[in-house]
Amino acid sequence: MRDFRISPSLLAADFARLGEEVSAVVAAGADWIHFDVMDNHYVPNLTFGAMVCQALKPYAGNALMDVHLMVEPVDDLIQQFSTAGADVITFHPEASRHIDRSLSLIQAAGKQAGLVLNPATPAYVLENVMDKLDLVLLMSVNPGFGGQSFIPNTLNKIKQVRAMLDEYEHQSGRRILLEVDGGVKVDNIGEIAAAGADIFVAGSAIFGQPDYAKVIAQMRQELTK
């Protein structure tokens, strides 16, 4: 069985109690903490920056800080989040003039680097930067808001990208992880995993329930089927 990871998105947490929310979701079994950075420019919404990431890092324990940059441009914020405790940094290729350089900045800082593909972004943008990718994040909604419905065509995209990553692993011996973000719930996580995902971002599905441990356990249960 693959090594699955669950990354609750703080976008759906109680912003007045973020530290407690991070502790609670880690105690409930989260592997990663998904931190959605929105700039009201690349996406039509505004969230939090590197200072908030730094403040929350001590609450995350052994969970990795999974920073999803929905900002343009990206390079300055890559530097800021690298020193603010990010473990994983992903960005959208449309938001960087020089994708290879931005990925190199993340890796030079010793962080896991990834590209995020929107629902309509073609997978070929990955082809010439495979050596610089630790993961690929596939958006299963259009970025900017939590609580949207999973776009069904994403299942085809997951299979397509998984095949590319498997081919690369076959040649290089190096596995690139596949993360899926948007509309992930207990009732669809199984088919998302079957299509080839390793890491599951879930915001409203986890923080919208009173018992985080119960939802995360239900998700893991689906992943063992």
Answer yes or no whether residue 219 interacts with ligand DX5 by CB under 6 A.
Answer: no
Per-residue contact string for residues 20-39; x = within reach of Zn ion by CB under 5 A: ----------------x---
With CB under 5 to 8 Å by kind, the binding choice for 183 among ligand DX5, Zn ion, none is ligand DX5
How many angstroms separate the CA atoms of 168 and 148, rounded? 32
Per-residue contact string for residues 176-195; x = within reach of ligand DX5 by CB under 6 A: -----xxxx-----------
Q: Whole-number minimum distance, CB 172 to Zn ion, in Å?
A: 27
Amino acid at 39: D
- In the complex with ligand DX5, the residue whose CB is nearer, 122 or 147, is 147
Q: Do the beta carbons of residue 113 and residue 103 sit within 8 Å?
A: yes
Q: Please list every residue from 174 through 203 that binds Zn ion, using CB under 5 A.
A: 181
Contacts of 63 (CB under 8 A, 6+ apart): 22, 26, 30, 31, 32, 33
How many angstroms separate the CA atoms of 85 and 53, rounded? 7
Answer yes or no whether residue 147 interacts with ligand DX5 by CB under 6 A.
Answer: yes
Q: Which residues are annotated as a binding site for a divalent metal cation?
A: 34, 36, 68, 181
Q: Do the beta carbons of residue 27 and residue 60 sit within 8 Å?
A: no
With CB under 5 to 8 Å by kind, the binding choice for 114 among ligand DX5, Zn ion, none is none
- Give the catalytic positions in this structure: 36, 181
Sheet harboring 88-91: ordered strands across?
Answer: 5-8, 199-202, 177-181, 135-139, 112-117, 88-91, 64-70, 32-38
Residues at the site binding ligand DX5, with contacts judged by CB under 6 A: 9, 11-12, 34, 36, 68, 141, 143-144, 146-148, 181-184, 201-205
